[in-house]
Amino acid sequence: MALSKYVVGNWKMHGTSSDLPEIASIASAAAGSTGVDVALCLPATLIDRAATSMAGFAFGGQDVHQDEKGAHTGCTSAAMLLDAGASLAIVGHSERRSDQCETDEQVRAKAEAGLKAGLGVILCIGESLDVREAGQAVATVQSQLDASLPHGDGAAAGVPGKFAIAYEPIWAIGTGKVASPADIGEMHKALRERLVAAYGDAGNEVRILYGGSVNASNAAEIFAVDDVDGALVGGASLTAEKFVPIVEAAAAR
């Protein structure tokens, strides 16, 4: 049975208090869309104000530290995100893997820490253009997934809705280039196999999102691909005008 779709906006390093009305427009449009879960992962500085004024809508962080507390200047713990009103966090985004040199091992620890604390977690994986052109995309992303999947008592991967994967080919992020439906389908099927190998039947409950230049024009085609359970959207999530049609395309599936 198909999983309900999940459409998540990743605002990256965008957004100040002047954007709260835009966030409110997105939240109120999402409330009217049935059959699709919607969330916005905001800059940490905005979560508290957004969550306070838009109770009921799901807000998330864009990263979470693996430790509960300590000497980690500039980092945000799961407890801090929860305290601010977040209910989820992204981990392992390729921009953090490259800008902050995050390893699969750290990403796995972050995923486990987030889940253990009660946050939903979206774990990002994806290949570079070189890897894709070398014909190694599936094998590379599968091993990235294997190495960064949460396990143990923090895994909670069997809790429906708590854990999701986002396949984001690095070369498709912010470039306007989108993976073909055939390539997305091949990758998501391969990732589903790895999830089932890791978690058994619970692996079928983990939603696999696609990310990379998703917009109102290509969303319906992407959502029609088998094993695409939603989207992680960057640039097109910054305004209601661009994001709401993506949510509607998901709701129409």
- Residue from 120, 154, 203, 211 in contact with ligand 13P (CB under 6 A): 211
93 is catalytic: yes
The span of 15-23, 76-84, 101-109, 211-219 binding ligand 13P (CB under 6 A) equals 211-219
φ, ψ (nearest 5 deg) of residue 62: -100, 0
Q: Which is nearer to ligand 13P, 62 or 77 (CB)?
A: 62
Query: How many Å separate Cα 88 from the centre of its chain?
Result: 9
Catalytic residue among 168, 188, 205, 248: 168
- Residue from 7, 10, 60, 144 in contact with ligand 13P (CB under 6 A): 10
State the burial class of residue 14 (Cβ atoms within 10 Å of its Cβ: 0-12, 13-18, 19+): middle
The span of 49-57, 66-74, 99-107, 206-214 binding ligand 13P (CB under 6 A) equals 206-214
At closest approach, how far in Å is the CB of 238 from ligand 13P? 9
Q: How far apart are the C-alpha atoms of 183 and 102, rounded to whole Å?
A: 26
Q: Note whether 60 binds ligand 13P by CB under 6 A.
A: no
At closest approach, how far in Å is the CB of 178 from ligand 13P? 9
Subset of residues 172 to 191 that bind ligand 13P, contact rule: CB under 6 A: 173-174
At closest approach, how far in Å is the CB of 148 from ligand 13P? 16
At closest approach, how far in Å is the CB of 165 from ligand 13P? 12
Subset of residues 22 to 51 that bind ligand 13P, contact rule: CB under 6 A: none
168 is catalytic: yes
Count of residues in the chain: 253
φ, ψ (nearest 5 deg) of residue 11: -80, -10
- Alpha helices (H) along 76-166: 78-84, 94-99, 104-117, 129-133, 137-148
The span of 42-50, 68-76, 80-88, 233-241 binding ligand 13P (CB under 6 A) equals 233-241
Instruction: Answer whether 195's CB lies under 8 Å from 155's CB.
Output: no
- Alpha helices (H) along the chain: 20-31, 44-53, 78-84, 94-99, 104-117, 129-133, 137-148, 181-199, 219-223, 240-251
Q: Name the residue number minimizing CB distance to ligand 13P.
A: 234
* Partners of 123 in beta bridges: 91, 165
DSSP letter, residue 96:
H
Residues that bind ligand 13P (CB under 6 A): 10, 93, 168, 173-174, 211-214, 232-236
Active site residues: 93, 168
